[in-house]
Amino acid sequence: MNILQFINQNLNYDLTSTEDLPFSVKEKSLSVGKILTDYGQLETKIYFLKKGLIQISINHNDQERILDFVFEGNFFASLTSMLIKKPSDVQIIAITDIQIEVFDYSELEKAYTHSLLANQLGRFALEKIYIQNTNREKDLLLKTAEQRYLDLLQKRPDIISLLPIHKIAKYLGIHPESLSRIRKSIIS
């Protein structure tokens, strides 16, 4: 999926070219390991993930915690940094080779003053992110690491096979040894 398809599908448009958008979109192919937004950097771009997998992490007491993975067909950015124009406290990194579309937040901001489409897109994309974040928070509050691992296994078996154990453990917020125990108890 690309931005045009995202808009047509979710906002009832029938656009045929990115020229129809109130901001200019660039396509990029990047290699695994590429940092799109680093800790301390001001976020000025908005990304759309066409292919691959993205990791968003935060540093807490020198311990890295994986906040989230971004899957194909979703927008991503260091949102708080972008919105309040302060340095990012998250890092956004490609954990596979990726294909993205990217545009400048400054162009979107200008479009917000007059473009119905820009505002519909901003509103809808943010609603989607809000729902995802709330579900993640709720899972963290209400579910055990084992339940969350089983959820991930069911919803995203591709992630489990793509990622090394220590990354999955960082996402679940547990030690790799605890994850190994969980995996063994599931198999047995």
Q: Which is nearer to its own copies, 114 or 184 (CB)?
A: 114
Chain residues 158-177 in contact with its own copies, contact rule CB under 8 A: none
**120 binds its own copies, rule: CB under 8 A:** yes
Tell the smallest beta-carbon distance from residue 162 to its own copies (Å): 26
Q: Which is nearer to its own copies, 9 or 180 (CB)?
A: 9
Sheet holding 54-60, edge to edge: 35-37, 90-94, 54-60, 63-70
**119 binds its own copies, rule: CB under 8 A:** yes
At residue 183, the 3 state secondary structure works out as helix
Which of 1, 32, 126, 165 binds its own copies (CB under 8 A)? It is 126
Token pair of 176 as six digits: 């790799």
**144 binds its own copies, rule: CB under 8 A:** no
Which of 1, 32, 35, 83 binds its own copies (CB under 8 A)? It is 83
Tell the smallest beta-carbon distance from residue 73 to its own copies (Å): 18
Report the b/e string of 74-94 with b at 16+ CB within 10 A. bbbbbbebbeeeeebebbbbb
**142 binds its own copies, rule: CB under 8 A:** yes
The count of residues interacting with its own copies (CB under 8 A) is 29
Q: In terms of Cα–Cα distance, which of 97, 91, 90, 89 is closest to 72? A: 97
